[in-house]
Structure 1
Amino acid sequence: MVFETFVGWRRPGRPPSIIDAFEPRPFPHLLFQAPVKLLLYNLYHFFNFLRSSPTPSKPPIRVVCISDTHNQIPDDIPPGDILIHAGDLTNNGSVAEIQKQVDFLNSLPHKEIVVISGNHDTYLDPRTRPSLSEHQRSGSIDWKRVHYLQHRRLSLTLPIDPSPSDSDRARLLSSKHRRIRIYGAPQIPACGPMSVHAFQYERGRDAWSETVPEDTDILITHTPPKYHLDLPMPAGMGCEHLLKEVKRVKPILHVFGHVHWSAGQMVVWWEGSHEAYEKGMSIQSRWTHGLLNPWLWWNVVRVGYRGLRGLIWDRIWGGQGPRTVMVNAAQMMGNTGKIGNIVQVVDI
């Protein structure tokens, strides 16, 4: 019997694997395999759903987020100030495929366009480039006005458009600008052959600690952080070390992709409820599925108690503590080979 783990996109005609960690598990399977974690997961997200949305700056900067286009061109990308592509522009990662995606991005009207690589963008990683044919890797990429970040920091100064309510004189004199600091890095926990899939490291290895600048406003990675928009049940396909780094830096916005089935966005409030959720999800219970694990149940209680406290603080007292908006911007719809997920838009 062959067990296979593969990135959440399957080439046409590829037979489905027996076990694919990038496919969602049916609810009955989760209920049998990890009932307490399923309760923990839903309790945490229930309280998160009831929280108010973070208040953006005034006037806000609109960030449009896409990822995992795999050679395809999304329709109807909304306007905005910054467009972010969080990797997997292509299928095979040849120069021609990457250039076609860059040309499309360059044609869009957004003020700034920022891109990182994904594991399918083979040419962009010197370690995997030799797996391409000589024809596929010949030439170079003209990025034009697109900012390509590969373990690199970018500082942007964006003009802020005056409010429609401003007087004509105020609009003429308006010269407001806002500085946004962005850091992008493509590395992911291994999900395929190291010689073919770009920017991989062995799962469990720490490839993140102290790598992201502390003043980062927007973090762009290809992999999700562990247990957040990464098919967190039953085990999570994101990186635990990236989660620790995000928690250390606490960017305003974290954009990623890679796990197609988990496209969407959520707000992570860096407080006791999240700490209990993270600890509970990381507990391993093999034989009793967690039913007899007191530490797992204790974290369920903590999520409920801390989640209720945070909700009261938010809704009654209007308090909003440190938080990060997390966005899985994958455009590919699961393993269908077709794009169609909603383009994610965030005002910060």
Structure 2
Amino acid sequence: MVLGPLPWRKARTSPPDPFEPAPFARLVFQAPVKLLLYHAYHMITSLRSVPTPSKPPIRIVCISDTHDHAIDEVPDGDVLIHAGDMTVDGSIPDIQKQVDWLSSLPHKEIVVISGNHDTYLDPRTRPSLCEDQRAGTIDWKRVHYLQHRRLSLSIEVEPPSSDNEETDLLARETKSRRLRIYGAPQIPACGDMNVHAFQYPRGRDAWSETVPEDTDILVTHTPPKYHMDLSLPSGMGCEHLAKEVKRVKPTLHVFGHVHWGAGQEVVWWDGCHDAYEKGMRIQSRWFQGLLNPYLWWNTFRVVYRGLRELIWDRVWGGKATHTIMVNAAQVYANTGKLGNPVQVVDI
């Protein structure tokens, strides 16, 4: 008699889902030094000063991965950005519903890019839809759709009110600020190349020298590698995008795709960050990196350079160039339901 595979044996041999966070115990066993490196970097950088926005500030409201849902309460702001995956199946009717909802919101400007689930928007994956799902066109209304495209916006901003009414009346002149936004949807492959849109083979460079140098806000669907992308044990973001963001250093980088990574962080482009990324890139299979001197050296550099930068910031008031990174995914984990907060940033 031949027995089929036992359920427990199948569960033990199946690979873990890379879009689910690895259990802490497994990380302690598989990547103990990288776990230390990761937490040392984020603990030190979290103690640094909050970046001061320009005056008057522009409020950016960031969402992503709504997957056919309409958010009941979207915070007020000057610009609303949607970083892709408006839908689940990517048909014209589903995309149009999202566009109709977005265009009804009161924000001055609305900017949208595609995600891998927005199938119709990629000509390569469009044929996977039924004919009735890809018949017709999308009416973008007042929504700016960016697909490897740059957009320049002039935003009228009123200075914040003061306690002195007379001074306030004289000073409250509306000022105009210009924002340069670049949006691109491509992601490292994570599914069927004929169904999921804008994919490229993982490891291929689809980013170098693609983002204009004067970009203020970069909008992508994929995260940069090692930033809000389930960085341990390997990271689901793109290493080539990470290099491109470092080259351009936009004020704000908005993305989504990895639902578990939702939130904000400030990346300071200094020696601490360089050591963090160098350490995270090291592949060491022997003894889980415990005997790798380069990994330990970069962990030490993160602590040493991080503390130096922290003192320079907090004691001397020094400021390094930075980028605010926002993973704006709205669907919580892989539940298919809204649960993550809307991200708001003043720049």
Deviations 1:75-95, CA, capped at 9 Å, x for gaps = 211000000000000000000
CA contact 1:74–1:340 (8 Å) conserved in 2: no
Query: Residue 235 of structure 1 corresponds to which residue in structure 2?
Result: 234
Aligned positions of 1:50-61 closer than 5 A: 50-61=47-58
Secondary structure in structure 2 of the residue aligned to 1:40: helix
Q: Percent identity?
A: 74
- Once the two structures are TM-superposed, the CA of residue 256 in structure 1 deviates from its matched residue by 0.1
- 1:116 aligned partner: 113
Relative to its length, the structure with more helix (as a share) is: 2
* In the alignment, structure 1 residue 28 sits paired with structure 2 residue 29: no
Contact 1:314 1:320 in 2 (8 A): yes
For residue 169 of structure 2, what is the amino acid of its counterpart? D
* Cα distance between partner residues in 1 of 2:168 and 2:25: 59
Q: Deviations over 1:111-157 (max 9, x none)?
A: 00000000000000000000000000001100000000000000000
Aligned to 1:153: 150
Structure 1 match to 2:79: 82
* Equivalent position amino acid for 2:36 in 1: L
| Counterparts of residues 114-263 of structure 1 (less than 5 Å) | 114-165=111-162, 166-171=167-172, 174-263=173-262
User: Is the counterpart of residue 67 in structure 1 residue 68 in structure 2?
Assistant: no
Q: Which residue of 2 aligns with 1:274?
A: 273
Higher Cα radius of gyration: 2
In the aligned structure 1, how far is the partner of 2:282 from the partner of 2:336?
Answer: 34
Normalising by structure 2, we get a TM-score of 0.94
In structure 1, runs of 5+ residues without a counterpart are 2-16
What residue is the counterpart of 1:92 in the other structure?
A: 89
Please give the alpha-carbon distance, in whole angstroms, between the structure 1 residues aligned to 2:70 and 2:175.
34
1:296 and 2:295 correspond: yes
| Structure 1 Cα separation of the partners of residues 326 and 268 of structure 2 | 14
Write the distance in 1 (CA, Å) between the matches of 2:308 and 2:160: 36
Query: Which letter maps to 1:312?
Result: I
C-alpha distance in structure 1 between counterparts of 2:267 and 2:168, whole Å: 38
1:299 match: secondary structure: helix
Provide closer, same or farther for how the CA distance between residues 130 and 111 of structure 1 changes in structure 2, counting only shifts above 3 A. same
2: CA distance, partners of 1:182 / 1:122? 23
Deviating above 3 A after TM superposition, structure 1's stretches of 4 or more consecutive aligned residues are: none
TM norm structure 1: 0.94
| C-alpha displacement of 1:320 | 1.2
Residues matched between the structures, number: 331
| Alignment partner, residue 5 of structure 1 | none
Which amino acid letter does the alignment assign opposite residue 106 of structure 1?
S
Shift of 1:18: 4.8
Paired residue secondary structure (1:30)? helix
Give the superposed CA RMSD.
1.0
Distance 2:70 2:309 in 1: 41
Amino acid at match of 2:56: P
2:122, 2:197 within 8 Å by CA — same for their partners in 1?
A: yes
Secondary structure at 2:132 match in 1:
coil
Partner in structure 2 of residue 9 of structure 1: none
